[in-house]
Structure 1
């Protein structure tokens, strides 16, 4: 094996505590343990380590090892110095499924890590390989741990998406952010891809309108179907769809944002003359948007439409803490739109 950095030793460092970093803080170290179930974050962390090493040395050697199919001695072979002594990055996947041979070799490696080598161990969770992880966490080989927990909570997903837009140099309104996160309820890799695609398609200043165009139809019972039913005057259908969506945990804010987007479009075309092409240029809308808004605004009176816009602002306030019953406030606004301006009760 290559000359050691200095034998930290698993035994002597067993009681030491290593730094535990967020995935955004990932950095090279003699040994980097990337732990946790969130594969997308783990990939990002591993990529950041590689980029950091390449920034200092363009001739970086990169080796990938599958711990599950590992053959004895493989780690020491790739860790041996090359003819030109380039620095090495060794990435080991599936440590949670590792063979006995890998666990034995990895423990030996920690006793005397190779010079100019970064060993990245990816462990997605479970008990397999726990003794090896305990050695790393105990301080063997001066390692660090990058923790990649699963992102499930809405607030965490919102924070992740917001960070993605900051990374992309983009700004997005709170309502648009909620709409996007609600539409992409799967893995965060898909959500990150949606953020990047949205910036690529619509630019760096994003509102509910841009998000609405990119996400319409993504969810079976979603904000856009509710809004479409309401603006088409189908009050009963809109109310059923709304209650179905809320019962499955959909945030009311994206519902409101989708409805507001359509109401604003109706207000813009109300009383306007000219072809859809001409109006599209004047109003900064697509011709199909003009046509749809003109269909949806039929039967509205100007005073009722003005009241609808006021009610939209009032409903937003009620949804954000101004009412003990925000769902009722949203239903009231929805029915006001569906009934083209007929008042429905009073907010509680």
Structure 2
């Protein structure tokens, strides 16, 4: 099952394996699984073990809580491979766990794959676009908001499909939403700052299309928001390096996302843009932007001059249609 499907206070099994490693969804799953424990009992009934060995895990999971009620053992930070003895010890416990207790294994690196067949596996991976929207619609309704579809699409774009950030933005919006809780795209534009990659993508898209008016609008908006020219230049250089990678390589979205350090959703948005250029043009642009960034850092150009030159070079390139 996916972490977004968890119901608070309901545990699917005495042993839960949280796979995938996404920070937001792993935290969400841990909170949902342990939410039945009253705040005053958490120190007695929730035991968090950071980077433990299997012996400590089994010992803690087998011990009753001091209150006599079921306890939760949350294992985090274990990235080193289990030894054969550790695997044997952990499997032995998972085959016959203490039914009143819940062992939660946060498994970013696949360390605990040996107990998959004995555990409820909860996927803590970023949701795809529609799943993310469905989750956020439900989250918004829970805090009294009704988000219009264009507003939801814009929110997801601005947050680079990061459900954690989007939910935090909705929390902030709830304090300013008009009567009835209706959230429009204009409210998103007014209250949510696009993250750096989203800003760079909007500007890059306008520049690549030769849309000078849109490019000027994005630059004005970035400047008004206090975004420094150095940040814009760095974002443009990073974006064009990513476009070059996608143009000359053929990995799937997940592999490309890992290589570029972005989410798969960002790769989906970049691919159509990369296809507008030839590989030769992208190489020339990426190298030129890197040179301008170097000239700025070495003091040969001030940052505004470097950014202006970068934009002129991009706008002067013929685009393959």
TM-score, length-normalised on structure 2? 0.54
2:5 is matched with which residue? 24
Gaps of 5+ in 2: 219-235, 244-265, 271-321
Q: Does residue 160 of the first structure (1) align with residue 135 of the second (2)?
A: yes
Q: 1:39 aligns with which of 10, 13, 23?
A: 23
2:199 is matched with which residue? 220
User: Max radius of gyration: which structure?
Assistant: 1
Question: Contact 1:64 / 1:92 at 8 angstroms: preserved in 2?
Answer: yes
Q: Counterparts in 2 of 1:130-209, with a 5 A limit?
A: 130-134=113-117, 136=118, 143-151=119-127, 153-185=128-160, 187-203=162-178, 204-209=181-186
Q: For residues 31-80 of structure 1, what are the alpha-carbon distances to aligned partners after superposition, in whole Å with 9 as ceiling and x for unaligned?
A: 1222223331221121111113549x8896110123x4426345314532
Does the C-alpha gap of structure 1 residues 167 and 221 become closer, same or farther in structure 2, counting only changes over 3 Å?
same
1:63 is matched with which residue? 47
Does the C-alpha gap of structure 1 residues 84 and 54 become closer, same or farther in structure 2, counting only changes over 3 Å?
closer
Q: 1:91 aligns with which of 74, 80, 89?
A: 74
2:199 aligned counterpart, secondary structure: coil
Residue 161 of structure 1 and its aligned partner are, at CA, apart by 2.7
Q: Does residue 114 of the first structure (1) align with residue 102 of the second (2)?
A: no
Q: For residues 184-208 of structure 1, what are the alpha-carbon distances to aligned partners after superposition, in whole Å with 9 as ceiling and x for unaligned?
A: 1163322221121112233522112
CA distance in 2, matches of 1:50, 1:91: 9
Q: RMSD of the TM alignment (CA)?
A: 4.0
Q: Counterparts in 2 of 1:314-325, with a 5 A limit?
A: none
Residue 177 of structure 1 and its aligned partner are, at CA, apart by 1.4
1:41 aligned counterpart, secondary structure: helix
Question: Contact 1:96 / 1:129 at 8 angstroms: preserved in 2?
Answer: no
CA distance in 2, matches of 1:39, 1:216: 21
Gaps of 5+ in 1: 1-19, 137-142, 228-234, 251-348
1:49 aligned counterpart, secondary structure: helix
